[in-house]
Structures are given as structure tokens and as C-alpha cells.
Amino acid sequence: MKSYLLIPLFFLYLGCTSPPLPVFPTTEGICPKSDLFVLSQPEIDVQTGNDLVGIYCKANITPIGFEWEVSLVFRDEIHPSTWKDFFYRIYRRIRYGRTYDIESFLVRLEPDGKTFQLDLKNVYSGDQIFQEDPVVHKDKILSSSLLENRNSLPILYVNTWNHMFGEKDNNPGLSKQEIQISEFRFGSRTQLDGYFDTN
């Protein structure tokens, strides 16, 4: 590959930043402040710039009860391999219009108001570890009763570098940062995708 061809790629790489996080007008479907669960994320992920920067939620009423669509926004999705990350972030900026990593799932509240089900469609880690490459996006519905607890709150583990979730810690040798998920910005995944598609 000719070295002069790398120049436009380099400038595209430098320009791979995301616009600011949006604030959507509040309408029906506000998720109340609630101590929902604890997110346990490897510290190495946070230190490399993949920290959690926003939590969006849209509440819906379904035939079987209340359902929350939760979208976790991480600052980035940095690939463990430096050279793969270079091209991966260019691809993501072109494909998604952002370098933020947005992972969404459904929380279905049980009638008792204390337990819930997590529908981790396309964001379940299975047994994959942090350095897994490539990562397979799996599906799983988990009852909150199957999750470990910390101070009476269920724990959801970030198990892979691209933020796939699980009910158990697949990386016990990695130090963790824990974040209590309790306050939300209003917004659906559709709104978030639409915002970044136009910016």
C-alpha cells in the first residue's frame, strides 16, 4: 500500500469523534428514578476510554405489563488490538455516525415491582471473556433472581471489550468498577440512532 494513501485515512481517523450526547424532549414513557441494578465493568475498559457516559430509558406499557428500553452509552468501543482499532473506528464512524458504543436491552418488570427480566437480545456475552476476538453477539432472557447481588441490587457484568453483558463475571482476574444504574435520561434507541444518523 502506498504511504500517501494512508494520509486521508489518518485524517479520517483523527476526525472520528462523536457529537455531544442528545437531550430529547420529555414525552410519555419516562422511566422513574429507581435503583435497578449495578453494572460491573473491567477497570481496564474504563481506563482505556470506554467509560459509561449516559443511560437512556423509554418506558412502555405492553399487554403483559411494564417494559423499559434501556440504552447504555459508553464513551467508545476500543478494540484490544491497536491496528484493528484504527480501521474499526473509521468503519464505525462511517457506519453509525459515532464512536460512542450504544448497547440496548429490555427490562420487563414483574408484578411484584421488585424483580424483573432482562431481555439481552444481541448483547449477551455467554462465556466470552474481555479479550475475545471476534465477539459473538448472543441472546438471553435473564431473571433478576438469577443475578448475583451487591447491597441487595442485582449485578450485570460487562464481559467483553465491546460491552456484551452476562449474569456472571467471566473475567475474575480483572479489577472492576461498579456503577449503580438508577437515574436515566429520557430517550429510546430509535431516537438515539436517528440523532447520530443526522449528525
The 10s digit of each residue's pLDDT in 54-88 is 999 999 988 878 899 999 999 999 988 888 988 88
Give the strand order in the sheet containing 141-143: 141-143, 116-119, 101-109, 65-74, 52-62, 185-186
Residue 23: alpha-carbon gap to chain centroid: 18
Share of the chain above pLDDT 70, in %: 91
Q: pLDDT at residue 36 above 60?
A: yes
Q: What is the pLDDT of residue 199?
A: 66
What are phi and psi for residue 47, nearest 5 degrees?
-65, -25
Please enumerate in sequence order all residues whose Cβ is within 8 A of that of 6, keeping only pairs 6 or more positions apart, or say none.
Answer: none
What is the rounded average pLDDT for all residues in the chain?
88
Q: What is the pLDDT of residue 17?
A: 63
Selection from 54, 34, 40, 42 nearest residue 179 by Cα: 40
User: Whole-angstrom Cα distance, residue 143 to residue 140?
Assistant: 10
Share of the chain above pLDDT 90, in %: 60
Q: pLDDT at residue 175 above 70?
A: yes
User: Whole-angstrom Cα distance, residue 90 to residue 114?
Assistant: 42
User: Whole-angstrom Cα distance, residue 118 to residue 10?
Assistant: 40
- Classify residue 98 as exposed, middle or buried by CB count within 10 Å of its CB (0-12, 13-18, 19+): buried
Selection from 108, 116, 96, 121 nearest residue 197 by Cα: 96
Q: pLDDT at residue 104 above 90?
A: yes
Cell, residue 98: 459515532
pTM recorded for the entire structure: 0.89
151 or 112, higher pLDDT: 151
Q: What is the pLDDT of residue 164?
A: 98
The pLDDT tens digits of the residues spanning 4-23 come to 444 444 444 444 567 889 99
